[in-house]
């Protein structure tokens, strides 16, 4: 498992879960079984709902684990864990406990051992029942939306060359159906998106430039090509691209930390209501003068930039020359901009039109960090 996790980039829990279900599916085929029964209880359901709330999710996530998902069934989902333990003990049936369930290293264990007891003690003694009832309501709503999206999915998704989502018909849909379609195509691509991922994908659909790319969990990439949003598996070696490799446009729809695998770097955006003190690799611009979303991309031929303090704009190539940046290093320096202008060259300079002034009330901190 450690070797598999290192290659996949998943968390320990996510990688172990994937391998566990893979092993169960292999065994099912080997013995000719129809279904795989797993032992999730209503305690597990309550924990899962809280975890999804903490991480951010949509209606489908709040509906909780399904009683049947493909060949996997959960026959104990309406029964409490203590009820099962009591049953086993009353009949002297041996059972084992996983010692890792006591480790607070994992989020699920902290929810089980700390958060749920806190909520029961200080906020709602019936919190588990409340969560399960809520999930039941969401499950009915989710089922209705799933029926609507199932009719749409085959019309707007092309399965050739990866999964391709046709953008124009999706833009005409209600936002609830848009989000649901994006969630469904992510699941079919092999990744489990958070609410923030769906928000970024929506921004890509509506405002993203051609070629803009979003990096999703499980090494899935969504890229805007023509009138489609194409979902594909990323090459595992892509993050170690040599100098001179091309930089796919990366959409930054709002605050957050974004991976830039082609340059072995990260870029983050953070908003402040006060003037923050910038550190190494950080730039500050007037948050009200910058229109989101922004795009991190390679400079275009002949593109111009108005550096802070300069009398006017100049070609980016000339700016690099003035800064004595070696020619062989320039193709590893991206620009950050929107459809109107180049806002900044991360780690180097901001544009004059977005500088901080005496009237600035909101500040946007741009952090650029290359991994060693």
pLDDT at residue 358 greater than cutoff 80: yes
Higher pLDDT: 246 or 318? It is 318
Residues 243 and 273 in one domain: yes
Residues 361 and 249 in one domain: yes
Q: How many domains does the chain have?
A: 4
Over residues 22-46, mean pLDDT: 94
pLDDT at residue 238 greater than cutoff 50: no
Higher pLDDT: 343 or 247? It is 343
Over residues 334-348, mean pLDDT: 90
Question: Would you state the pLDDT for residue 371?
Answer: 65
pLDDT band, very low/low/confident/very high, at 48 (cuts 50, 70, 90):
very high
**Distance separating alpha carbons of residues 332 and 14, to the nearest angstrom:** 33
Question: Would you state the pLDDT for residue 132?
Answer: 95
Q: Kindly state the percentage of the chain with pLDDT values over 90.
A: 45
Query: SS3 for 144-180, per residue?
Result: HHHHHHHHHHHHHEECCCCEEEEHHHHHCCCHHHHHH
Question: Would you state the pLDDT for residue 236?
Answer: 47
Domain enclosing residue 8, as ranges: 1-33
pLDDT at residue 214 greater than cutoff 90: no
Read off the CATH number of the domain in which 291 is found: 3.50.40.10
Over residues 327-351, mean pLDDT: 86
Residues 284 and 340 in one domain: yes
Read off the CATH number of the domain in which 192 is found: 3.30.465.60
Dihedral angle computed from the Cα positions of residues 99, 105, 106 and 109, in that order, rounded to the nearest 10 degrees:
60
Residues 92 and 167 in one domain: no
Residues 188 and 203 in one domain: yes
pLDDT tens track for 126-178: 999 999 999 999 999 988 988 999 889 888 988 765 688 999 999 999 999 99
Residues 68 and 101 in one domain: yes
Q: How far out from the chain centre does Cα 34 lie?
A: 33
CA distances from 341 to 129, 279, 314, 330 (A): 53, 25, 13, 19
Question: Would you state the pLDDT for residue 328?
Answer: 65
CA distances from 7 to 189, 239, 332 (A): 18, 12, 25
Question: Would you state the pLDDT for residue 78?
Answer: 93
Question: Would you state the pLDDT for residue 300?
Answer: 81
Mean pLDDT, rounded, of the chain:
87
Residues 354 and 260 in one domain: yes
Question: Would you state the pLDDT for residue 253?
Answer: 85
Residues 42 and 150 in one domain: yes
Residues 52 and 143 in one domain: yes
pTM (2 d.p.):
0.56
pLDDT at residue 239 greater than cutoff 60: no
Residues 268 and 365 in one domain: yes
| Structure tokens given for 270 | 């953070």
Residues 290 and 320 in one domain: yes
pLDDT at residue 92 greater than cutoff 80: yes
| Structure tokens given for 14 | 């996510």
Rg (CA), the chain: 25
The secondary structure of residue 270, as a DSSP letter, is E
pLDDT band, very low/low/confident/very high, at 250 (cuts 50, 70, 90):
confident
Complete DSSP assignment for 83-115 = HHHHHHHHTT------GGGG-TTSHHHHIIIII
pLDDT band, very low/low/confident/very high, at 233 (cuts 50, 70, 90):
confident
Domain end residue (candidates: 219, 234, 249): 234
Read off the CATH number of the domain in which 80 is found: 3.40.50.620
363 - beta bridge partners?
272, 286
Residues 73 and 163 in one domain: no
Over residues 196-206, mean pLDDT: 89
Domain end residue (candidates: 128, 156, 184): 156
Over residues 288-308, mean pLDDT: 88
Q: What are phi and psi of 245, to 5 degrees?
A: -70, 155
Domain end residue (candidates: 156, 183, 202): 156
Q: How many CA atoms lie within 13 A of 217 on its CB side?
A: 18
């Amino acid at each position: 498992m450690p070797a598999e996790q290192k290659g996949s980039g998943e968390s320990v829990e996510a990688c172990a879960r994937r391998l566990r279900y893979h092993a169960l599916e292999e065994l099912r085929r080997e013995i000719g079984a129809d279904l795989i029964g797993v032992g999730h209880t209503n305690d597990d359901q309550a924990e899962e709902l809280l975890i999804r709330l903490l991480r951010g999710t949509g209606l489908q996530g709040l509906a909780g684990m399904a009683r049947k998902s493909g060949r996997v069934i959960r026959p104990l989902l309406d029964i409490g864990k203590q009820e099962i333990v009591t049953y086993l003990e009353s009949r002297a049936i041996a059972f084992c406990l996983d010692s890792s369930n006591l480790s607070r290293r994992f989020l699920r264990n902290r929810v089980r051992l700390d958060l749920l007891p806190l909520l029961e003690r200080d906020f709602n003694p019936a919190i588990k029942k409340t969560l399960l009832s809520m999930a039941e309501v969401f499950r009915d709503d989710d089922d209705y939306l799933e029926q609507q999206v199932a009719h749409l999915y085959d019309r707007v998704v092309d399965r050739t060359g990866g999964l391709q989502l046709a953008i124009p018909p999706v833009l005409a849909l209600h936002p609830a159906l848009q989000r649901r379609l994006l969630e469904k195509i992510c699941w079919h691509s092999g990744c489990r998106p958070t609410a923030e991922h769906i928000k970024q994908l929506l921004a890509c659909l509506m405002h993203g430039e051609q070629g803009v790319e979003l990096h999703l969990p499980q090494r899935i990439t969504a890229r805007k090509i023509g009138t489609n949003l194409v979902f594909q598996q990323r090459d595992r070696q892509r993050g170690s691209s040599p100098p001179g490799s091309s930089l796919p446009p990366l959409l930054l729809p709002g605050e957050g930390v974004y991976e830039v695998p082609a340059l072995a770097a990260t870029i983050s955006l953070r908003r402040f209501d006060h003037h923050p003190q910038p550190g190494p690799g950080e730039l500050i611009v007037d948050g009200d003068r910058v229109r989101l979303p922004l795009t991190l991309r390679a400079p275009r031929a002949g593109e111009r930039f108005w550096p802070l303090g300069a009398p006017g704009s100049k070609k980016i190539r000339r700016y690099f020359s003035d800064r004595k940046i070696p020619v062989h290093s320039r193709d590893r320096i991206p620009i950050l901009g929107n459809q109107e202008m180049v806002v900044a060259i991360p780690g180097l300079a901001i544009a004059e039109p977005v500088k901080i002034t005496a009237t600035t009330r909101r500040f946007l901190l741009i952090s650029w960090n290359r991994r060693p």
